[in-house]
A and B are shown apart, each in its own frame.
Chain A
């Protein structure tokens, strides 16, 4: 129904303006851009590689997002709980789902905005050479989806606690796990452990955002990968709903 969308938008709007009325948004964007560019130019050697692509830019995103996205998501519900506004929000004539989706969307839009602000690097490679811009767009889509998955996880951990710090740490650990499960050295290690059969290792790696993100980076949009990211988001938001329900009924 129309009112559901308008409720969601109402919450999204408030949440977004909340980001920009405090220094959080600006600090985050500056730090994100600083790190993203530092990694791709200094560590990734964008120039030295002499290739007209953004591989050295996107490679770092899982590691960067692993830490920065929980910093954006940690306040989502923890702050509501600390202020007591959770009670206000959930006694309004809206469903908990509308509140959850509204708040999630706001943070996701915010992360998308931060990601868009990395546009100079796209101009840079286009100026220096002729990269495949389709691959770059695929990379951005993958990056945005990964940010969404991490954000949804932070959303759930944020609902768990009143403390933003605790929420941040738990969320980083989970996101780290999601990254590590498909990180080559970690996979090698898992295979070397005799206890884990090859099948088991495959199951674990299939949960990783790393392998999925790699496909996007290569410019391959696989339907399964889209499903994967959206299921992680869906599952984490569902967990948030369960946690919030638990808070109220217990």
Chain B
């Protein structure tokens, strides 16, 4: 549904987006990750036709956004950053306006508005003016506007920003459900969201795509992915490391922490292992030695580690 090729955007001498290419198919939810100022919003603004790209090509549902903007925009529902809405309108009035701009009239309009209100849990505030809404409600009002015409493509710029944990959970569920029938791109700073709602994630840094894969694939890039962690009680740490290093498929054993008589140990695998092979080996050692263990698990890797390792830290300096 969405095809982006070699997208580049320069703001004067500054290159905000540099040669970004990707594709999103129907039924996919693409998570867009990256540090602040990495070019996430700029990319989304180009896909939705707000910014014309410096170079590159974007097609939405086969329509080039530059050549056939109206046809392409019809297919897109867009929630811009900071969830803007007309503050002088009521929630219902605003949604009706959005529906009309989407070409909905009469019965179809009424149905679309009620559907959006229901999906975004806005029943309690329909007659309230937008500027009296709390941040969460205002955010969901703007979200409701983006799904009013049941679009095939949804572009959501930080859809969960400013929501409380319950609302975040609801919105994630909504995205996941809608993702089954639509092509969705959403950007976020919250890495758990990627695991919770995305079928694929792209990490973008300083205008370039630095990683593109399923959340599981990205997790594999974590240093600790596949390592086995265990907590042993009442055994000297040297004895533990000695015994564990005899396992053939481990590369090394690290003592993470030692407190009272507890020792936290992490066994790193050789290469990339999965399926708990290493855990089984470690468990065998534990049983043979009759150690008292309180926990033993395989690390799945953590997205924030991956994120930190592949996005450079000097974006902070540039921003300052």
Contacts and interface: CB of A to CB of B under 8 A. Distances in A.
Most chain B CB inside 10 Å of its own CB: which residue of A83, A95, A250? A83
B74 A84 contact: no
A18 B100 contact: no
Interface string A78-118: 00000111011011111100000000000000000000000
A106 to B, nearest CB: 13
Contacts, number: 70
A3 B105 CA distance: 12
B85 interface: yes
A88 B52 contact: no
A91 B101 CA distance: 11
Interface string B79-103: 0111011111100010001101111
A42 B313 CA distance: 70
**Which of A22, A90, A95, A250: most chain B CB closer than 10 A?**
A90
Contacts of B81: 84
Interface residues of B, number: 34
Interface in B44-101: 45, 48-52, 69-71, 73-74, 76, 78, 80-82, 84-89, 93, 97-98, 100-101
A199 interface: no
Given A10-B97, A91-B73, A93-B73, A248 B52 contact: yes
Nearest to B77: A91
A83 B101 contact: no
Interface in A52-91: 83-85, 87-88, 90-91
Interface string B4-25: 0000000110000000000000
23 contacts: A3-B103, A7-B101, A10-B97, A10-B100, A17-B89, A18-B86, A18-B88, A21-B88, A83-B86, A83-B87, A84-B80, A85-B85, A90-B49, A90-B50, A91-B76, A91-B78, A91-B80, A92-B101, A92-B102, A93-B73, A95-B69, A95-B70, A249-B52
